Structure 1
């Protein structure tokens, strides 16, 4: 381990049993577990337990206790940056994504043991202020995602600026978008899904369909629609939001989550795209 053998971590979970996977993951990564605490111990954790890494085991957590902990952690991190990682299933994903929106905490969803250890080492070694760019392979993946999203955003802008691509009012239908989604999924029956690992188009289709059906989409639902591991989907969601393709809107009935929508430009580009398809088929 070299210079990393002195790293220490605190595991926070609902109880000792829920904390056990995190403690075991730290042992595999050769990071010393300094303490195990519950979400109710938030003030003790933040004021009296020095650590290099905070591991949040959100799986099975009491929603109110978890939300209070995340809120206090976010407030604390504004003054004293932390290295943190949260383990979730899709059940906790929306709340944790919302609660940790403003701090550099990586959210890991449904990881196996080997992925846990790799992620913990990478995150612990990164400066807290540059967490999302840490690790050579991880940074390469992020740069690749950002590059792909940059190209996608440019293509969508070009499409909306093309006056000839303006669709007829009846050109864009719910059925056409559903057909496009079905075709994407049908492709996976005949080819390895790893050949088509870019989830951006799946997300755009799902959010465009949501707009046409006048419904809202939460983070966990969009991760499912992406047909890719949730941890990967979260990276894409973050990057596409940063690039102005997605927008976040608070859930009026639950402050602990946001809904995702297409931006005005992205929606216009999707409408123009389906308008072109309709014109091509009718010509």
Structure 2
């Protein structure tokens, strides 16, 4: 029998039930998102297609905005840009699902509201995204669980614990106390420059990033492991992202979000989470296209480029890349 977890109504500090705006052109997706939001404890403020919402009277957004945008039409992108502005000002939380072909355009529409962006997600991924929103709501109560529910939850917790332990053994370099699923921002002592290494060095003494072909050979060597081993053993999206952006910087190329998700070697939604966390940590920067404000690129922060250059110099990247 499937466990049936339902939340009590989600309420704010004043005791008012929080609401959701559901926008999707695909009828079955809209129906699923509406049902899942209701099950999570939200009331429905509005549920319609993107076109209907854009043409209707200006209405207040829900506390949560669920959007499914499969195609990057001009009208849809204009609506997403407005939702980004309104959501950022109102403090609404946005969960936006899209497709890989539309990802660059959709990503470029959001600069103020920090949405969760899901790429070709299944229903479970959407539910998890709603759960992440619920996790930020104070005083949230799960309904009373029966004994069968408790046993199921206990077994699931044990399974996740075992997986985490195995991943820890595959990642001996992680800092003490850092879990396999944990991503930490740089500590306050991390400066991203050479103050901790050679504070007296001049700017000219700093190493430079290797040439693009050198970094591309390193990336190719990493990818060749997939011919001989299970790729899940080597999932390291943060490092693959840094390498790809370092090569692009050396080649003076711009990197789109779609291209970077592919380079990360993990599902696009997972790659987007890593990119977002690395931008928040100051490792990466988001750059707007001066010719198209709806398009954005990702690049290394200058301090990150300096750190990558020092790393490559210390390990002898040019020598390692020689086949």
Distance change (3 Å), C-alpha of 1:280 and 1:175? closer
Indicate whether 1:36 and 2:74 are aligned.
no
- Post-superposition Cα deviations, 1:62-92, rounded to whole Å, max 9, x if no partner, equal 2x21222122223323442213210012222
Distance change (3 Å), C-alpha of 1:127 and 1:83? farther
Structure 2, gaps ≥5 residues long: 1-5, 11-16, 139-159, 161-177
Residue in structure 2 matched with residue 255 of structure 1 by the alignment: 293
Residue in structure 2 matched with residue 226 of structure 1 by the alignment: 264
Q: Give me the whole-angstrom Cα distance separating, in 2, the residues matched to 1:98 and 1:141.
A: 32
Residue in structure 1 matched with residue 83 of structure 2 by the alignment: 73
Q: Give me the whole-angstrom Cα distance separating, in 2, the residues matched to 1:210 and 1:4.
A: 48
- Does structure 2 conserve the Cα–Cα contact (< 8 Å) formed by 1:83 and 1:127? no
Report how far residue 230 of structure 1 moved: 1.7
Indicate whether 1:216 and 2:228 are aligned.
no
Q: Give me the whole-angstrom Cα distance separating, in 1, the residues matched to 2:180 and 2:113.
A: 17
Distance change (3 Å), C-alpha of 1:197 and 1:77? same
Q: Tell me the number of residue pairs that the alignment of Structure 1 and Structure 2 aligns.
A: 262
Distance change (3 Å), C-alpha of 1:84 and 1:251? same
- Post-superposition Cα deviations, 1:159-195, rounded to whole Å, max 9, x if no partner, equal 98446x944x7x8222221111012212233333333
Residue in structure 1 matched with residue 217 of structure 2 by the alignment: 179
RMSD: 3.6
Determine helix, strand or coil for the equivalent of 2:71.
coil
Per the normalisation by structure 2, the TM-score is 0.68
Of the candidates 11, 28, 32, which is equivalent to residue 20 of structure 1? 28
Q: Give me the whole-angstrom Cα distance separating, in 2, the residues matched to 1:33 and 1:120.
A: 14
Distance change (3 Å), C-alpha of 1:161 and 1:90? farther
Report how far residue 46 of structure 1 moved: 5.1
Residue in structure 1 matched with residue 133 of structure 2 by the alignment: 123
Structure 1 stretch displaced more, 181-190 or 210-219: 181-190
- Post-superposition Cα deviations, 1:191-230, rounded to whole Å, max 9, x if no partner, equal 3333333311111111111112221001121111111122
- Does structure 2 conserve the Cα–Cα contact (< 8 Å) formed by 1:53 and 1:124? no
- Post-superposition Cα deviations, 1:103-137, rounded to whole Å, max 9, x if no partner, equal 14211112222222232243256349xxxxxxxx9
Residue in structure 2 matched with residue 275 of structure 1 by the alignment: 313
Of the candidates 183, 194, 204, which is equivalent to residue 242 of structure 2? 204
Say which one has the larger Rg: 2
Determine helix, strand or coil for the equivalent of 1:107.
strand
- Does structure 2 conserve the Cα–Cα contact (< 8 Å) formed by 1:11 and 1:23? no
Of the candidates 8, 29, 36, which is equivalent to residue 3 of structure 1? 8
Distance change (3 Å), C-alpha of 1:255 and 1:70? same
- Does structure 2 conserve the Cα–Cα contact (< 8 Å) formed by 1:11 and 1:19? no
Q: Give me the whole-angstrom Cα distance separating, in 1, the residues matched to 2:56 and 2:197.
A: 55
Distance change (3 Å), C-alpha of 1:154 and 1:198? farther
Determine helix, strand or coil for the equivalent of 1:76.
helix
Q: Give me the whole-angstrom Cα distance separating, in 2, the residues matched to 1:261 and 1:278.
A: 23
